[in-house]
Protein backbone atom coordinates (compact mmCIF):
# COMPACT_ATOMS: atom_id res chain seq x y z
CA UNK A 1 0.00 0.00 0.00
CA UNK A 2 1.01 3.60 -0.65
CA UNK A 3 -0.07 6.43 1.63
CA UNK A 4 0.20 9.74 -0.20
CA UNK A 5 0.10 12.97 1.79
CA UNK A 6 -1.22 16.11 0.09
CA UNK A 7 -1.69 19.63 1.41
CA UNK A 8 -0.34 23.13 1.27
CA UNK A 9 3.32 23.89 1.97
CA UNK A 10 3.83 24.07 5.70
CA UNK A 11 1.00 21.65 6.46
CA UNK A 12 3.48 19.11 7.83
CA UNK A 13 3.62 16.54 5.03
CA UNK A 14 7.29 15.76 5.61
CA UNK A 15 7.20 15.64 9.44
CA UNK A 16 3.95 13.67 9.53
CA UNK A 17 5.18 11.47 6.66
CA UNK A 18 8.33 10.47 8.53
CA UNK A 19 6.35 9.73 11.70
CA UNK A 20 3.65 7.79 9.82
CA UNK A 21 6.22 5.74 7.87
CA UNK A 22 7.88 4.80 11.15
CA UNK A 23 4.55 3.72 12.69
CA UNK A 24 3.64 1.63 9.63
CA UNK A 25 7.16 0.30 9.10
CA UNK A 26 7.08 1.73 5.55
CA UNK A 27 9.74 3.64 3.66
CA UNK A 28 9.35 7.43 3.59
CA UNK A 29 9.82 9.33 0.33
CA UNK A 30 9.65 13.09 -0.14
CA UNK A 31 8.71 13.66 -3.79
CA UNK A 32 10.77 16.85 -4.12
CA UNK A 33 13.86 15.07 -2.75
CA UNK A 34 13.25 12.18 -5.15
CA UNK A 35 12.98 14.59 -8.09
CA UNK A 36 16.16 16.40 -7.06
CA UNK A 37 18.09 13.14 -6.80
CA UNK A 38 16.72 11.85 -10.11
CA UNK A 39 17.30 15.09 -12.01
CA UNK A 40 20.56 15.94 -10.20
CA UNK A 41 19.29 19.48 -9.73
CA UNK A 42 17.35 21.33 -7.02
CA UNK A 43 13.68 22.11 -7.51
CA UNK A 44 14.58 25.83 -7.62
CA UNK A 45 17.16 25.16 -10.35
CA UNK A 46 14.69 23.05 -12.32
CA UNK A 47 12.15 25.90 -12.21
CA UNK A 48 14.67 28.55 -13.21
CA UNK A 49 16.67 26.56 -15.79
CA UNK A 50 14.07 24.28 -17.35
CA UNK A 51 10.79 25.98 -16.45
CA UNK A 52 7.67 25.05 -14.54
CA UNK A 53 6.16 22.98 -17.38
CA UNK A 54 9.24 20.73 -17.47
CA UNK A 55 9.17 20.42 -13.68
CA UNK A 56 5.45 19.55 -13.56
CA UNK A 57 5.87 16.87 -16.26
CA UNK A 58 8.77 15.29 -14.36
CA UNK A 59 6.87 15.59 -11.08
CA UNK A 60 3.92 13.70 -12.59
CA UNK A 61 6.24 11.08 -14.13
CA UNK A 62 8.08 10.40 -10.84
CA UNK A 63 4.83 10.42 -8.85
CA UNK A 64 3.44 7.65 -11.05
CA UNK A 65 6.71 5.72 -10.93
CA UNK A 66 6.73 5.76 -7.11
CA UNK A 67 3.05 4.88 -6.74
CA UNK A 68 3.32 1.99 -9.21
CA UNK A 69 6.38 0.53 -7.47
CA UNK A 70 6.02 -2.54 -5.28
CA UNK A 71 7.50 -0.85 -2.21
CA UNK A 72 5.31 0.11 0.74
CA UNK A 73 5.81 3.85 1.09
CA UNK A 74 4.50 7.00 2.69
CA UNK A 75 4.92 9.70 0.06
CA UNK A 76 4.98 13.42 0.88
CA UNK A 77 4.06 15.38 -2.24
CA UNK A 78 4.79 19.01 -3.03
CA UNK A 79 2.00 21.48 -2.30
CA UNK A 80 1.19 21.82 -6.00
CA UNK A 81 1.57 18.18 -7.00
CA UNK A 82 -2.13 17.18 -6.88
CA UNK A 83 -3.17 20.34 -8.74
CA UNK A 84 -1.38 19.74 -12.05
CA UNK A 85 -2.07 17.33 -14.88
CA UNK A 86 -3.91 14.18 -13.89
CA UNK A 87 -1.98 13.68 -10.65
CA UNK A 88 -4.84 13.69 -8.13
CA UNK A 89 -7.19 11.65 -10.32
CA UNK A 90 -4.36 9.16 -10.87
CA UNK A 91 -3.75 8.85 -7.12
CA UNK A 92 -7.44 8.32 -6.38
CA UNK A 93 -7.78 5.70 -9.11
CA UNK A 94 -4.83 3.61 -7.92
CA UNK A 95 -6.14 0.58 -6.03
CA UNK A 96 -3.31 0.24 -3.51
CA UNK A 97 -3.01 3.95 -2.81
CA UNK A 98 -4.67 6.04 -0.09
CA UNK A 99 -4.59 9.83 -0.27
CA UNK A 100 -4.56 11.94 2.90
CA UNK A 101 -5.12 15.71 2.94
CA UNK A 102 -3.38 17.46 5.83
CA UNK A 103 -5.83 20.33 6.25
CA UNK A 104 -4.26 23.32 7.97
CA UNK A 105 -5.83 26.74 8.58
CA UNK A 106 -4.60 29.94 6.95
CA UNK A 107 -3.60 31.32 10.35
CA UNK A 108 -1.42 28.31 11.23
CA UNK A 109 0.11 28.16 7.74
CA UNK A 110 0.94 31.89 7.87
CA UNK A 111 2.53 31.54 11.28
CA UNK A 112 4.66 28.55 10.25
CA UNK A 113 5.63 29.80 6.82
CA UNK A 114 6.46 33.38 7.79
CA UNK A 115 9.37 32.14 9.89
CA UNK A 116 10.76 30.00 7.07
CA UNK A 117 9.80 32.11 4.05
CA UNK A 118 13.43 32.84 3.16
CA UNK A 119 13.90 29.12 2.44
CA UNK A 120 10.84 28.94 0.20
CA UNK A 121 11.29 30.74 -3.14
CA UNK A 122 7.55 30.95 -3.81
CA UNK A 123 6.96 33.18 -0.77
CA UNK A 124 10.37 34.72 0.00
CA UNK A 125 9.32 38.08 -1.48
CA UNK A 126 6.40 38.53 0.96
CA UNK A 127 7.47 41.09 3.56
CA UNK A 128 4.86 40.69 6.27
CA UNK A 129 2.46 38.15 7.68
CA UNK A 130 -0.63 39.86 6.22
CA UNK A 131 0.76 39.66 2.67
CA UNK A 132 1.66 36.02 3.27
CA UNK A 133 -1.81 35.29 4.65
CA UNK A 134 -3.43 36.86 1.57
CA UNK A 135 -1.14 34.83 -0.71
CA UNK A 136 -1.99 31.59 1.10
CA UNK A 137 -5.73 32.36 1.06
CA UNK A 138 -5.65 32.88 -2.73
CA UNK A 139 -3.55 29.76 -3.32
CA UNK A 140 -5.70 27.60 -1.05
CA UNK A 141 -8.81 28.80 -2.85
CA UNK A 142 -7.29 27.55 -6.12
CA UNK A 143 -5.96 24.27 -4.69
CA UNK A 144 -8.52 23.12 -2.14
CA UNK A 145 -10.67 21.56 -4.87
CA UNK A 146 -7.86 19.06 -5.54
CA UNK A 147 -6.90 18.56 -1.89
CA UNK A 148 -10.51 17.79 -0.93
CA UNK A 149 -10.57 14.87 -3.36
CA UNK A 150 -8.37 12.96 -0.91
CA UNK A 151 -9.90 9.88 0.66
CA UNK A 152 -8.95 10.96 4.17
CA UNK A 153 -8.96 14.53 5.47
CA UNK A 154 -7.18 15.27 8.75
CA UNK A 155 -7.32 18.65 10.50
CA UNK A 156 -3.78 19.38 11.66
CA UNK A 157 -4.16 22.60 13.68
CA UNK A 158 -2.91 22.29 17.26
CA UNK A 159 -1.74 18.70 16.74
CA UNK A 160 1.78 17.27 16.77
CA UNK A 161 3.07 15.08 13.92
CA UNK A 162 2.71 12.10 16.29
CA UNK A 163 -0.98 12.88 16.97
CA UNK A 164 -1.69 13.45 13.28
CA UNK A 165 0.01 10.22 12.25
CA UNK A 166 -1.94 8.31 14.91
CA UNK A 167 -5.20 9.79 13.58
CA UNK A 168 -4.23 8.64 10.08
CA UNK A 169 -3.38 5.11 11.23
CA UNK A 170 -6.81 4.84 12.90
CA UNK A 171 -8.50 5.88 9.65
CA UNK A 172 -6.37 3.51 7.53
CA UNK A 173 -7.18 0.30 9.41
List, as residue ranges, the binding site for substrate: 32, 56, 79, 143
Exposed, middle or buried, 64 (CB in 10 Å: 0-12/13-18/19+)? middle
List, as residue ranges, the binding site for ATP: 10-15, 120, 159
List, as residue ranges, the binding site for Mg(2+): 14
Exposed, middle or buried, 112 (CB in 10 Å: 0-12/13-18/19+)? middle
Q: Are strands 2-6 and 97-103 parallel, antiparallel or unpaired?
A: parallel
Report how far residue 10's alpha carbon sits from residue 49's, in angstroms, rounded to the nearest whole number: 25
Question: What are the φ/ψ torsions at residue 2 (nearest 5 degrees)?
Answer: -115, 135
DSSP 129-147: HHHHHHHHHHHHHHHHHHH
List, as residue ranges, the binding site: 10-15, 32, 56, 79, 120, 143, 159
Amino acid sequence: MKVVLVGYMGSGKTSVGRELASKLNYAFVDLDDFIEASEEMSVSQLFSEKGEIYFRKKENQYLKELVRSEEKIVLATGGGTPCYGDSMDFLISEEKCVTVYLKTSNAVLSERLFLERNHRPLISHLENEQLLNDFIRKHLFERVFYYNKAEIVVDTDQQSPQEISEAIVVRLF
